[in-house]
Chain A
């Protein structure tokens, strides 16, 4: 997936699942949208679907520190890279 495709998928995910419409890419999700640890776990599940494989524990731990949409996009990019899927 391209970075733009990842961004689009993440924003769609936030709109459909978390009912957060067009958040700023650097907004602090916890502070501005009450995006809490339960949401983070749900997000991991959705990201697993997006990348098409389960995340290992180390990868899941990394996700818990994420605060912004930009960080999520970079995180997903890194997952694709780790799975040797080319990011344009």
Chain B
């Protein structure tokens, strides 16, 4: 059995806002969400990169105590977007708790803020004991803390998938959720990802010389996907969630259909854990098209992974050229948000939904002069009106994991 799978609700917390209107405003007007890196009093002073895709607006949470006690910052983000998705979905609590709704949600490494609290007692000169580790510290920090807290807060009793594959975390969530519904294992899936602010994440990339460092005084000018002056990625924070459901069920209950997912692929480079692979990511794109049963010409717009690393962008452009040629318009949405890590696939999917609905493609921010090695594909150098019928979101992660999601506008 293969069922059609549609998206019927979405919500995001991003460095360029939370609501559809806020996010579209930033995209249309070319406003970046990259700001100076917040000081954690620990590592920031040692780092070369001092920029961050920042969620700096207040979020009023109204979670009850029995939920908050097992939540680190990453779960606050995750539960907030999950709450908005479910509230807007029109699903009944009976269905939500029926076992027919599952959760696919992850983060890069749980809650590093909570992990830091655990380890503090080992390195502190204070009178640390075993009891210095709180009963809930593991629940706050564990890799599947976002998914687990979502299931608890909303009494969700279906399957739980919690991928933690760095930059492909939430695109895997969406892809694996899609397969759950497509093959009839669940009728609906709440999918997404989240990552909280933490400088250890920045430090990982800083140590690998992958972070942007030349724009510390002008954060809005970085990252610069495909630009000749790009100098690395900018880590960010945020969350995104979408609701996937069986098309027949969505139609029957009169749900608003935002788009259909028609394809997903995921593979691994089978080699280097850091460097992207031209063959690996080209194959992901090819497999995605095969899964969607469409030709490359059918894709109008690609949301590229485009982190702005010196090598990564070149290889991605080569792969797009190899698979698609210069037909689809390619946009690098991280130029607005920075690299929101485990949430980037979900956030970029949600932005794609807004682009489809409104019929536009934003320009890739800071793409002032295209690197000639990336110039063979069609870049979004200015905001344009465009009827996007089919779009693709592609993400590639440390560990060699690649994903490609393909969406179709609902007519």
Q: Which residues of A contact B (CB under 8 A)?
A: 18-20, 34, 36, 38-39, 41-42, 44-45, 48, 54
Contact = CB atoms under 8 A, between A and B. Distances in A.
Nearest to B135: A41
18 contacts: A19-B65, A20-B65, A34-B66, A36-B66, A38-B69, A38-B70, A38-B135, A38-B136, A38-B139, A39-B69, A42-B134, A42-B135, A44-B131, A45-B131, A45-B134, A45-B135, A54-B129, A54-B130
Interface in B174-210: none
B267 to A, nearest CB: 40
A44 B66 CA distance: 17
A37 to B, nearest CB: 9
A54 B131 contact: yes
A18 B130 CA distance: 21
B143 to A, nearest CB: 19
Contacts of A39: 69
A39 B70 CA distance: 10
A44 B136 CA distance: 13
B132 to A, nearest CB: 8
B136 A18 contact: no
Contacts of B136: 38, 41-42
Contacts of B65: 18-20
Nearest to A35: B66
A8 to B, nearest CB: 21
A48 B131 CA distance: 9
Interface residues of B, number: 11
A18 B66 CA distance: 9
Nearest to A39: B69
A7 B162 CA distance: 43
Given A38-B135, A45-B135, 8 more contacts: A19-B65, A20-B65, A38-B70, A38-B139, A42-B134, A45-B134, A54-B129, A54-B130
Interface of B: 65-66, 69-70, 129-131, 134-136, 139
A41 to B, nearest CB: 3
B226 to A, nearest CB: 48
Nearest to A40: B135
B135 to A, nearest CB: 3
Nearest to A46: B131
A83 B129 CA distance: 19
A66 B70 CA distance: 22
Contacts of A48: 131
Nearest to A37: B135
Nearest to B132: A45
Contacts of B70: 38
Contacts of B69: 38-39, 42
A21 B259 CA distance: 47
Contacts of A19: 65
Nearest to B67: A34
Scoring A41, A45, A48, A54 by chain B CB atoms within 10 A of each residue's CB, the highest score goes to A45
A6 B131 CA distance: 21
A16 to B, nearest CB: 12
Nearest to B70: A38
Contacts of A41: 135-136
B319 to A, nearest CB: 47
A19 B64 CA distance: 10
A87 B136 CA distance: 32
A19 B131 CA distance: 21
A47 B139 CA distance: 21
A5 to B, nearest CB: 22
Nearest to A48: B131
A36 to B, nearest CB: 7
A11 to B, nearest CB: 16
A20 B64 CA distance: 11
B57 to A, nearest CB: 25
A70 B65 CA distance: 22
A38 B135 CA distance: 6
Nearest to B129: A54
A41 B130 CA distance: 13
- Among B69, B70, B129, chain A packs the most CB atoms within 10 A around the CB of B69
Contacts of B135: 38, 41-42, 45
A20 B65 CA distance: 9
A45 B131 CA distance: 6
Contacts of A34: 66
A1 to B, nearest CB: 20
Nearest to A36: B66
A39 B131 CA distance: 14
B91 to A, nearest CB: 24
